[in-house]
Amino acid sequence: MKNYFNYPVNILFPEHCIICGNELCFTDIKDYPICGTCLGKLKIISGSRCTRCGLPLIEDVKECIRCKTTGFTFSCNYSIYSYHDWAVKEVLYMYKFRKKKILSGFFAEKIAGILNLKYAGIVVVPVPSDRKSLKKRGFDHIGEIADLLERKHGIKIKHLLKKRIKTREQKSLEYKERIENLKGSISMNTDPAHMLSGQELELVVLFDDIFTTGATMEECSRVLKRNGVKDIVSVTVAVD
Ligand SMILES: [Zn+2]
Ligand SMILES: [Zn+2]
């Protein structure tokens, strides 16, 4: 039965698209407030991409220049969007820095689609944030998505890693400096509920919002490898 009670409320207080601000139509309103036009602007990476980091490539080569010169511990990264895309940057900014938590539903839906397609049944480990950063941001942007992946999409989530200390802002740092900066900051969660066993140790999927230089994934992968995980891949919303 249609919920007619909501109808007049929507007319009086129409919902607006979180990106462009335009009023949403009935067909737009799903779990997250993004209008059809803006959704259409979020272009999923298609065509050739680097087999290691997932960066879109113009030429049909196997690996990008950065991956040719950097030896990663994880096997590969897969990103849905390019961070060079203005609309993608905007939606991630709205979520992370304008605290539009409602967008977690959008990211969870997209990430779940990739996980089910490429890594069905494999344990997903969210990349951890330190306490100070969480406090500053006001919410756990990765944790919110991970929670929905588990509750709504039935993905197996294990908070296997924790970030013990706050590291320097990474934005202006190169890969090597980032690796140095992150060294020793990530450790295993000793809570038995988040331990891996048997088959689970064969492959783990790391999950984060943006893949930039790969330094965070690298540090997480090194910790996982040292603790018996045989192979590590990662899935992120966007690649920079
Ligand atoms: Zn819009
Ligand atoms: Zn690459």
What pLDDT is recorded for position 41? Answer: 92
Residues 6+ positions from 157 with CB-CB distance below 8 Å: 123, 124, 125, 126, 146, 147, 149, 150
Task: Outline where 187-226 has alpha helix (H).
Answer: 215-226
What pLDDT is recorded for position 195? Answer: 85
Measured in Å, residue 63 CA sits from the centre of ligand 1 at 35
DSSP 3: -
Measured in Å, residue 100 CA sits from the centre of ligand 1 at 14
At 68, the amino acid letter reads: K
Q: How far apart are CA 37 and CA 205, in angstroms?
A: 32
- Ligand with smallest separation from the Cα of 64: 2
Residues 218, 190 contacting (CB under 8 angstroms):
no
On the CB side of 9, CA atoms within 13 Å amount to 4
Measured in Å, residue 216 CA sits from the centre of ligand 1 at 32
At 48, the amino acid letter reads: S
Q: How far apart are CA 215 and CA 197, in angstroms?
A: 26
Measured in Å, residue 69 CA sits from the centre of ligand 2 at 9
Task: Walk along the chain (240 residues) and give the pLDDT tens digit of each residue.
Answer: 444 444 444 444 568 888 888 888 877 666 788 898 999 999 999 989 999 999 999 877 788 988 988 889 999 999 999 999 999 999 999 999 988 898 999 999 999 999 999 999 999 999 998 888 888 888 999 999 999 999 999 999 999 999 887 676 767 678 788 878 888 889 998 888 888 889 999 999 999 999 998 999 999 999 999 999 999 999 999 999
What pLDDT is recorded for position 2? Answer: 45
Phi–psi pair at 173, nearest 5 degrees: -95, 145
Task: Give Cα 144 to chain centroid, integer Å.
Answer: 11
**Nearest partner of 94 among 54, 55, 46, 38, judged by Cα:** 38
**Nearest partner of 181 among 146, 147, 212, judged by Cα:** 212
Residues 6+ positions from 91 with CB-CB distance below 8 Å: 18, 19, 34, 38, 42, 103, 106
- Ligand with smallest separation from the Cα of 70: 2
DSSP 200: G
Measured in Å, residue 215 CA sits from the centre of ligand 2 at 13
- Ligand with smallest separation from the Cα of 71: 2
Measured in Å, residue 75 CA sits from the centre of ligand 2 at 11
Measured in Å, residue 207 CA sits from the centre of ligand 1 at 27
What pLDDT is recorded for position 19? Answer: 84
Annotate 98-129 with DSSP letters as a single string: S--GGGHHHHHHHHHHHHHHHSTT-EEEEPP-
Measured in Å, residue 125 CA sits from the centre of ligand 2 at 22
- Ligand with smallest separation from the Cα of 39: 1
- Ligand with smallest separation from the Cα of 48: 2
Measured in Å, residue 17 CA sits from the centre of ligand 2 at 34
DSSP 57: -
**Nearest partner of 111 among 194, 208, 189, 195, judged by Cα:** 208
**Nearest partner of 76 among 200, 218, 179, 209, judged by Cα:** 218
What pLDDT is recorded for position 70? Answer: 86
- Ligand with smallest separation from the Cα of 217: 2
What pLDDT is recorded for position 14? Answer: 61
| Domain 48-239 annotated CATH 3.40.50 | yes
What pLDDT is recorded for position 1? Answer: 44
Measured in Å, residue 22 CA sits from the centre of ligand 2 at 37
